[in-house]
Structure 1
Amino acid sequence: MKKFYKAGVAVLVMVSLLGLAGCGGAKTPSAPAQNGSGSANTASSENVLKVGSDIAYAPMEYMNTQQQPEGFDVDLMNAIGKDLGYQVKFESGTFDGLIPALNSGKFDAIISSMTITEERAKTVQFTNRYFQATQSIAVKQGSPIKSEADFKGKKIGVQLGTTGQDAVEKMGLTPQKYETAPDALNDLINGGIDVAVIDSPVVAYFIKQNPDKKIVTIPGNFDQEYYGIAVKQDHKALADQMNASLKKLMDNGEYNKIFKKWFNSEAPKL
């Protein structure tokens, strides 16, 4: 998911390999102080919101050439933090390790293009939805694969722990699992797999950034998915704060401004 699949993919892979290394356990952030008008004051150094993310998923989250996180999710989380008076600190982790790390206290929240599912909601609390997506089927131009009906007997790549993996396994197939989406897409280019099933915004961005790679998408029959920000189940106050901020950003046009920056179109109604 990111922007530099040519020169930058090595950086992305390195980021994903960092796994969950980093600082110690995060404390639940206290509610930001309110000023006389009822709005949150600027966050102090003590009021840090530690946010976990698999920062290898452009255009949603990725490391730029200065090794700083960028992307739609990054901008949105920073806007929420600013509104609530938190200083947001991003910490990278492998996608399938984010929820365990959250529940162990390493993070206060997760924003990582994480689809809201019943299974995940058993262990975390999600905010209201903030993004709509679906799965995309990526193949090389000229591939004999024209739909899911052609998957049998083919090598299918997915990112570990994602709804793409769930979708393929529900077909009764065993996919090849990768730590990051760039790993899967680059193996598709190199001929290691025949098809990749990955979230639609990531595949679309990859194709736009790498037209010479001759990767195309084919129609798929997948459900709509909605992303949410995850917090620990007993952190209802934090989830409520974020939901209020999300609504504010959607109502005042800031959410749409961020969406247009990354997708060059008006944000859809969620």
Structure 2
Amino acid sequence: MFKKGLKVALASLVILSLGLAGCGNTSNTQDTSKQAANSGSAKVLKVGTDPTFAPFEFVDEKNNTTGFDVDLMKAIADDMGYTVQYENSAFDGLVTSLQAGNYDAVIAAMTITPERLESVDFSDKYLMAEQFIAVKKGSPIKTTADLKGKKIGVQSGTTGQTVVEGLGISPLKFDAIPDAMNDLLNGGVDAVVADSPVVLYFIKQNPNFNIEYVKGDFTKEYYGIAVKKGNTELKDKFNASLKKLHDSGTYNDIYKKWFNVDAPAIQ
């Protein structure tokens, strides 16, 4: 956390730019998409997310959940004939809540990993990312190897935590990326490891904070929409809609809205 004065103001700006963490909600354990389809009423997809991960999902100045993932899920739901109801939760609790039936799906810039595939199923991959190292300008950290012996911040439960721990480093774990970035700016950590689009967006939104990134040599990652294990019907619907959005150019339009460039091929 920042101390009084200027540092408090800076922390407020960071939190505003990246969004605020929400609270988890519960529901019954039946698949709500199937309930809605059978009832003949408006079909609703209950989707879990963690709105602290700009530009993918965050809370805007009007207290609305917005971002790339939000726009993408709306386009998918529109194609399927559904509306979306978001349930906000801390990232590291999303999979457990999905398993419990509290959501129909999770979209939260969630990387498809072998470990997660043991607990949930994923749609086809919809975006490629990698881990970047955020540091203050002038930092001696220039490579991944330079992280050794340093204090590294990560968001709990993310692949950022996984790769840092894979280096034999015990990172400082935060509930949200804004908290980790605040600690970086305040000198509490020497670097923050997070998904590349999130780091780039933070730097773009806060040009006066003198933050830069180190690309490192981490492997590429792919995001997917998580569904409850065995929910092949919903997964197949997501995949069919994702293909339509790619073929029609809608996916590229959404990508360009948030990243100002055409969407790269997912390889």
TM over 0.5: yes
- The answer for the alignment partner of 2:175 in structure 1 is 179
Distance 1:44 1:143, change over 3 A: farther
Q: 1:246 aligns with which of 242, 247, 252?
A: 242
Q: What secondary structure sits across from 2:111 in the alignment?
A: coil
How far apart are 1:269 and its partner, in Å? Answer: 1.3
Q: 2:263 aligns with which of 254, 263, 267?
A: 267
Q: For residues 202-233 of structure 1, what are the alpha-carbon distances to aligned partners after superposition, in whole Å with 9 as ceiling and x for unaligned?
A: 00000001011000001300000000000001
- The answer for the alignment partner of 2:15 in structure 1 is 9
Distance 1:52 1:249, change over 3 A: same
CA contact (8 A) 1:32 1:84 kept: no
Q: 2:205 aligns with which of 205, 209, 214?
A: 209
Runs of 4+ that moved beyond 3 A:
4-8, 10-13, 43-46
| Backbone CA RMSD of aligned residues | 2.0
TM-score calculated relative to the size of structure 1: 0.89
CA contact (8 A) 2:134 2:214 kept: yes
Q: 1:199 aligns with which of 190, 195, 198?
A: 195
Q: Equivalents in 1 of 2:257, 2:63: separation in Å?
A: 20
Q: Equivalents in 1 of 2:130, 2:221: separation in Å?
A: 5
- The answer for the alignment partner of 1:97 in structure 2 is 93
How far apart are 1:113 and its partner, in Å? Answer: 0.3
Structure 2 residue runs without a partner (length 5+): 1-9
* 1:48-87 matched pairs, under 5 angstroms: 48-87=44-83
Q: For residues 80-126 of structure 1, what are the alpha-carbon distances to aligned partners after superposition, in whole Å with 9 as ceiling and x for unaligned?
A: 00100111011111000000000001110000000000100001000
- The answer for the alignment partner of 2:3 in structure 1 is none
Q: Verify: 1:30 aligned to 2:26, yes or no.
A: no
Between structures 1 and 2, the one with greater helix share: 2
What percentage of residue pairs aligned between the two structures are identical? Answer: 51
CA contact (8 A) 1:54 1:112 kept: yes
CA contact (8 A) 2:71 2:254 kept: yes
Q: Verify: 1:221 aligned to 2:217, yes or no.
A: yes
How far apart are 1:147 and its partner, in Å? Answer: 1.1
Distance 1:11 1:147, change over 3 A: closer
Structure 1 residue runs without a partner (length 5+): 34-42
- Aligned-partner residue type, residue 157 of structure 2: G
Distance 1:249 1:11, change over 3 A: closer
Q: Equivalents in 1 of 2:166, 2:254: separation in Å?
A: 34
CA contact (8 A) 1:110 1:230 kept: yes
Q: Equivalents in 1 of 2:40, 2:177: separation in Å?
A: 35
Q: Equivalents in 2 of 1:131, 1:202: separation in Å?
A: 13
How far apart are 1:19 and its partner, in Å? Answer: 3.5
